[in-house]
Structure 1
Amino acid sequence: MWELTQACDLACKHCRADANPERHPDELTTAEGKRLLDDASRFDDGQLVVLSGGDPLAREDAVELVEYGTDAGLRMTLTPSGTASLTRERIETLADAGLRRVALSIDGGSAAAHDAFRKETGSYERTVAAAETARQAGVPLQVNTTVCAETVDELTEIRQVVEDVGAVLWSVFFLVPVGRGRVLDPISPARAERVMEWLWEVADEAPFGVKTTEAPHYRRVAAQRGGNTTGRPTADDIGRRAGITAGDGFAFVSHVGDVYPSGFLPRSVGNVGERSIVDLYRNTDLFESLRSPDSLRGKCGACEFRHLCGGSRSRAFAYSGDPLASDPLCDYVPEEYDGPLPEQSFTDRGSSTAD
């Protein structure tokens, strides 16, 4: 994932980037970005690249970069914001440039709820219109949703919106307290467990796929309920290997070129201006430790599902400063584990069908 810019006209309550309308003067240039895409193509044939932000469409070269990456053999996807930049012409141009998927955020089951969370009147309407334009342009749609105390009661309504807009995948992100998201309340571990059980039922009957972000224990829930217990799931229709976690199958490049295991785990291992993204991913101590489930500590380290799940390394870091510590959102306690439990500094407000 490459964060093209932190510029964005929205001021969403959960924003990891703490975005603002102005672009940073030290953003990677178009030429530097193309070198990054060339480097990324060395990972594997058809490497998946997500252009994110802020609002990636705040950069005039977004379409050029999609086209360049496509010509380099990359599977290019984009996560734009629901702003005035998301025009029909822009979406159609991106489709012509080879865009493989667009991911739009919907955080409320109604315009009022979504716009309040996004702090922008009209955001919901523009997002739904963009989803229809993407469908007409033949670009598969992914819907991203943030789960926190403010949005959890909206999940059943959002699930219907996801179906109505024709999404192929619902990516459900469980809050990590970074950026502006530090002021939001997460849901409790017990509530998160119930939400994941409900998501498993949704995935079984919905016409779209379901994945979680920063909540890999959804895989453990699926395994316990009769799902995949043999290892990581297979790739989806755009080559996104399911089962990735921060630093393991995933790397994040900031707008200025710094490389992190995730945008939610702010510990840099270097800059793409000095070392290639492939080298930084494969040959740095932090990334190597994150790819070793047996290096995990506490409850996660003792868990029999650690090779399938591994917990959110970003959330562990946010709460403890240790990316290898236990994920405090996980409610599961291994049968043979009798050590200390992570601090349960969560709230549990309200109820919903997703309860």
Structure 2
Amino acid sequence: MISISKLLCGLDAESDGLRYDAAADSSVEQITERKQQRPVVVWNTTKRCNLYCDHCYAAADTEGVPGELSTAEGKALLDQLADFGVPVVLFSGGEPLVREDLPELVAHAVDAGIRPVLSTNGTLLTEAAAAELKDAGLQYAGVSVDGLPERNDAFRGKEGAFDAAIRGIEACLEVGLKTGLRYTITDRNAADLEGVIDLLTDVGVDRFCFYHLDYGGRGKEIVDADLSPAEKRDAVRRLCDLTREYHAAGEEIETLLVGNYADAGYLVEYARRELGPETADRIRTALERNGGDPAGERIADVDPVGNVHLTQFWQGYSPGNVRDRPFGAIWRDEVNPLLNALRNREDRLRGRCSECQYQDVCRGGSRLRAMTVHKDLFAPDPQCYLTDEEVGASTSSTSAD
């Protein structure tokens, strides 16, 4: 994640220590006082979901899959994560709220010393459910809303999904559970960007996560719905402008970019143009600490049956299963060729990525998108929207070859 509000507007957040090694300079209580040493883990607790979303990376359906981790196995997984020093576990799905044992699992994560957060479509979040999760120790609920009512409901395959998600957000706010809105942009809902952000202030939410489409699960089937690089650049510029406008008006909205580390280079360029070279240099330093694309290093995923993945979007490959080996042993595997390649990707990146002046804050962006489009793990991310001048690469190096 890249925080626009932190980098452009100086808004302190609880993740400053985790993300930018800036805990000492932050005015708010921190998730951790030191830079992230172990991955944040997404746990897809089930493949079952009450919706059928076009972009679902987990390809969730109305039924679960055989062999999903039981309550006891889920607790054992959480103990494995705690033993390895994982700072945060994100309970996801499918829709995690279809699991009746979710509050019990959240409470176990707290007891194990892991910060529990939730990713949900929000439609099952009643006030009673939100209160039970908060009492169990849940720290945050991210609710997905992918556009205004008509577009959101079409995207999510169910009429009324938008209104139900808003009721879920309001339920969380009513019981004092920190809540944010998650929005994945495509050409189907890009026109709703400003309206979705306005929704934040209307409902009272102060955290907005802007997701780029990654090409996993059903997301792979709608690659053609992704924005062009030029359109994506324009959308990120609009989000930067809107964030600054809201902060200038006294609305301290936390806005974050997720899933495309071309955003890092763009924020430096944006700051240099709009705020001056000193601010741009400060932002670049912070982004160097953040470290670029985290796949296989600072983010991990465990699917419903215990397979470990390199990110939550990369469900097609697993280096091991937690029923066979502890999570830490799988993640530390020094002989796994894909893990090693991702963790030492700088010398393997090709095309414009190999010459890019922002390689240290991007690390080539999404390797999953590169592999999906170019059939080459180390080809350029097809959704890099930086210009050749910004990249600093020769025009002859802009192809995947």
TM-score under structure 2 normalisation? Answer: 0.78
Counterpart of 1:341? 398
**Hey, what's the Cα distance between the residues in 2 that align with 1:231 and 1:301?**
22
Q: Structure 1 stretch 174-183 or stretch 219-228: which is displaced more? A: 174-183
Counterpart of 2:331? 281
One-letter identity of the residue aligned with 1:119 = G
Post-superposition offset of 1:149? 0.9
SS in 1 for 2:287: coil
Q: Quick check: 1:271 aligned with 2:321?
A: yes
Decide whether aligned partners of structure 1 residues 208 and 288 sit closer, same or farther in structure 2, where only a CA change above 3 A counts. farther
Decide whether aligned partners of structure 1 residues 269 and 342 sit closer, same or farther in structure 2, where only a CA change above 3 A counts. farther
**Hey, what's the Cα distance between the residues in 2 that align with 1:166 and 1:49?**
25
Q: Quick check: 1:260 aligned with 2:309?
A: yes
Q: Quick check: 1:210 aligned with 2:255?
A: yes
- For structure 1, the 5+ residue unaligned runs are 235-240, 344-355
Counterpart of 1:172? 210
1:214–1:315: 8 Å Cα contact kept in structure 2? no
SS in 2 for 1:210: strand
**Hey, what's the Cα distance between the residues in 1 that align with 2:70 and 2:375?**
32
Q: 2:266 aligns with which of 194, 210, 221?
A: 221
Q: Quick check: 1:88 aligned with 2:137?
A: no
Q: Where do residues 1-355 of structure 1 align in structure 2 (5 Å cutoff)?
A: 1-44=42-85, 47-83=87-123, 85-109=124-148, 111-184=149-222, 185-206=225-246, 207-226=252-271, 227=280, 228-232=283-287, 245-265=294-314, 266-283=316-333, 284-295=336-347, 296-310=349-363, 311-332=365-386, 333=388, 334-342=391-399
1:190-232, CA deviations, whole angstroms, 9 ceiling, x for partnerless residues? Answer: 1111111222223334422222222111111111122411143
Q: Structure 1 stretch 153-162 or stretch 176-185: which is displaced more? A: 176-185
**Hey, what's the Cα distance between the residues in 2 that align with 1:132 and 1:233?**
37
Post-superposition offset of 1:8? 0.6
Identical-pair percentage: 32
**Hey, what's the Cα distance between the residues in 1 that align with 2:220 and 2:133?**
33
Q: Structure 1 stretch 93-102 or stretch 181-190: which is displaced more? A: 181-190
Higher helix share: 2
Post-superposition offset of 1:113? 2.2
SS in 2 for 1:318: helix
SS in 2 for 1:251: strand
Post-superposition offset of 1:22? 1.0
- The number of residues matched between the two structures is 334
2:296–2:311: 8 Å Cα contact kept in structure 1? yes
Runs of 4+ in 1 over 4 A off after TM superposition: 241-244
One-letter identity of the residue aligned with 1:94 = L
One-letter identity of the residue aligned with 2:90 = V
1:43–1:278: 8 Å Cα contact kept in structure 2? yes
Post-superposition offset of 1:159? 1.2
Post-superposition offset of 1:91? 1.0
Post-superposition offset of 1:246? 1.7
2:352–2:393: 8 Å Cα contact kept in structure 1? no
**Hey, what's the Cα distance between the residues in 2 that align with 1:89 and 1:54?**
21
Counterpart of 2:35? none
Decide whether aligned partners of structure 1 residues 321 and 35 sit closer, same or farther in structure 2, where only a CA change above 3 A counts. farther
Q: Structure 1 stretch 168-177 or stretch 21-30: which is displaced more? A: 168-177
CA RMSD between the two structures: 2.1
**Hey, what's the Cα distance between the residues in 2 that align with 1:301 and 1:96?**
49
